[in-house]
Amino acid sequence: MSLTIATDTDLAEVVALANLAYRGGDHAGWTREDYIGGDRTTVDELRADIAAKPEARLMLLRDGGTLLGTVWIEPAGEGAWYLGLLTVRPDLQAGGIGRRLLEGAEDAARALGGRTMRMTVVHIRDTLIAWYQRRGYALTGETLPFPYGDPPRDDLSFVVLEKALI
């Protein structure tokens, strides 16, 4: 199993996985965002992101033809890369796939000249923040507003985490 770059034909499968892992189904996966309604993403949103950010990479981890997980990286300026859409099939969470995706994304950013990796996490996701901290990410003290139009609560924000890659 190795990371590959997604193509347009992969996008529907990526969207289905992201929406299941983050917002759908009745699974107890630890990526589930019960406090946010609606889809996590759409094919049109992913296509627009890819078109607007040609240096970004949407990477996939497959076992044979089965999609196990995804991760997105994009340049964020001054040697920094942004990491997002780290997604693992809910039935496979806690099995090391997320760690493998994270390490693969860090390696890819490093190979592209990245010196730091940045990400945002919803501030109430203590378990997820701690998971990233155990992998070398640190809270920067920076927060960002929650960007979605109509969350079911109005007190959400993002915290920014960062890790040196060199």
pLDDT at 55 over 60: yes
Can you tell me the distance from the alpha carbon of 127 to that of 139, in angstroms, rounded to the nearest whole number? 14
Distance of CA 127 to the CA centre of its chain: 15
In a domain, 20, yes or no: yes
Sheet of 116-122: strand order equals 3-5, 57-63, 66-77, 80-88, 116-122, 157-164, 138-145
**Looking at the predicted structure, is the pLDDT value of residue 151 above 70?**
no
Residue 7: inside a domain: yes
Say if 32 falls within a structural domain: yes
CATH number at residue 95: 3.40.630.30
pLDDT of residue 30: 56
Give dist(CA 21, CA 36) in Å, integer: 13
The predicted pLDDT at position 152 comes to: 60
Are the C-beta atoms of 146 and 114 separated by less than 8 Å?
no
Q: How many domains does the chain have?
A: 1
In a domain, 77, yes or no: yes
The answer to whether residue 33 scores a pLDDT higher than 80 is no
What is the extent of the structural domain holding 29?
Answer: 3-119
Is 83 within the bounds of a domain?
A: yes
Residue 125 resides in a domain: no
* Predicted local distance difference test score (pLDDT) of residue 2: 83
pLDDT digits (tens, 9 = 90+) for 88-140: 998 888 889 999 999 999 999 999 999 999 999 989 889 889 999 999 999 99
> Whole-prediction pTM value?
0.89
Is residue 87 assigned to a domain?
Answer: yes
